[in-house]
Amino acid sequence: MRFPRAWLRGGALPPMNGAGPPIYRSPYRAPVFNHDRSYWYRAHGVKLADVVAAKIVIFGVPKSGNVWLQSLLCDTLGLPAVDPVAQTDVSGIGMTHLPFCPAVADRSDFVHGACLIRDPRDVLLSLYRYSQTQHFRAARPDFHYENWEEFYYDWFLSRLAPAVDLPRHSDQYARLGAPVVRFERLRADPQREVRRLLLRWGLAVDEDAIAAAVSGNDISDLRRTGKRLHVYVPGSHFGAGRVGGFKSDVPHEILLDFEERFAGLLARWGYKPVAVASSMHKSTSLPAS
C-alpha cells in the first residue's frame, strides 16, 4: 500500500507498509513510529539507501546495553555510528535516551529503530557502578553522591528517572512499533537477536557479517579496549553485562523500595520482584524466642 504524499508531513519518503486502513496513517514523520492504534511496523522493508540521511536508532534508558547494540549493528551493517539527534544530515546508526517526544517523533530520517529493554534493577546497579568511575565523574562535575543512599534517593529518583520518564519510556516506544530487544536475550545469544532484529526491519541478513560483529564486540574485550564509535567510548563505560547481579549487589532496603515504587514497570516487562520474598523468608527463618 502506498501512502499519499500528503500523509507524509514534510517529507518525500519511499512507499512504506500501509500499516492497516487509511484511518491508521501515522501522525509522526519518523517512519519507525506507527499510529497509536496500529500494531504494524510500517517501515518494514524500507532500505536506508532510499532515504536521505537515513538512520537506525536504538531507544533505551542509560546502561541498558545501548552502546553495545549500536556497535554490533554498526559492524554488522558496515554503517558509521552517529549522534542521531544532533547529526541531522548524515546516515548511520545511533542511540538516544530521550523519552518519546517531538525531537524523535518528527524526524523523517529515523527510518528503523529498536526498543532496548533491560531489567531496571540491573540498570540501577550498572548506573551506580558507572557513577563511581573517573570517566563519569570527569564528564559530570556536578555529581557528588558517594554512597548508595545518596545515589538512589538524591540523584536517581530525583534526576535520572524523571529525565528519561523511566516508568513509561520503553512501553511508549514499543507501543508505537519499535521492535523490542531484551538485553538478557541479547547477552545470551547476540547473533540470534541481531538476526531477528534485521528480519523485523525487513533488511538483508548476512550471517557471516553478524558472526564477525559478535566476535569483534565481546564485552570482555570492550571493557579492556573501549570502542571508537562517533566518539571514543572508554572501557570503563562497559559493565560486565551480568544478568541478575542486582540480587546480591544492590542493598536490600533500596531494592525493596525500587520494587515497590516501580512495581508497574517490572510487571509490564515480566520481571519478578525478589526483595519482598526475601524479606518474608528472613522473617520466617528467625528462631523462636
Could you state, in order of their start, the residue ranges of all structural domains in the chain?
Answer: 5-280
Residues with Cβ within 8 Å of residue 120, at least 6 apart in sequence: 61, 166, 258, 262, 265, 266, 271
- First-to-last C-alpha distance (Å) of the chain: 74
Is 227 within 8 Å of 67 (Cβ atoms)?
A: yes
Q: What is the pLDDT of residue 99?
A: 98
Helix, strand, coil share (%) of the chain residues, nearest 5: 45, 10, 45
Q: Nine-digit cell at 128?
A: 551506580
Q: What is the pLDDT of residue 16?
A: 67
Closest CA to 16 of 110, 116, 114: 110
Q: What is the residue type of 129?
A: R
Q: Nine-digit cell at 267?
A: 510487571
Rounded distance between C-alpha atoms, residue 116 and residue 129, angstroms: 20
Residue 109 forms beta bridges with which residues?
Answer: none
CATH 3.90.1150.10 is held by the domain 5-280? no
Q: What is the pLDDT of residue 258?
A: 98
Question: Could you tell me the CA-to-CA distances from 169 to 33, 110, 126, 276 in Å, in that order?
Answer: 14, 18, 18, 25
What is the Cβ-side half-sphere exposure of residue 243, based on CA atoms within 13 angstroms?
10
**pTM of structure:** 0.89
Q: Nine-digit cell at 235?
A: 572501557
Is 46 within 8 Å of 111 (Cβ atoms)?
A: yes
Rounded distance between C-alpha atoms, residue 178 and residue 115, angstroms: 6
Q: What is the pLDDT of residue 38?
A: 87
Q: What is the pLDDT of residue 18?
A: 59
Q: What is the pLDDT of residue 10?
A: 40
Is 89 within 8 Å of 83 (Cβ atoms)?
A: no
Q: What is the residue type of 41?
A: Y
From first to last of the 289 residues of the chain, give the pLDDT tens digit. 233 333 333 445 566 665 566 777 889 999 999 989 888 888 999 999 999 999 999 999 999 999 999 999 999 999 999 999 999 999 999 999 999 999 999 999 999 999 999 999 999 999 999 999 999 999 999 999 999 999 999 999 999 999 999 999 999 999 999 999 999 999 999 999 999 999 999 999 999 999 999 999 999 999 999 999 999 999 999 999 999 999 999 999 999 999 999 999 999 999 999 997 665 545 445 555 4
Q: What is the pLDDT of residue 20?
A: 60
Q: What is the pLDDT of residue 25?
A: 82
Residue 113 forms beta bridges with which residues?
Answer: 57
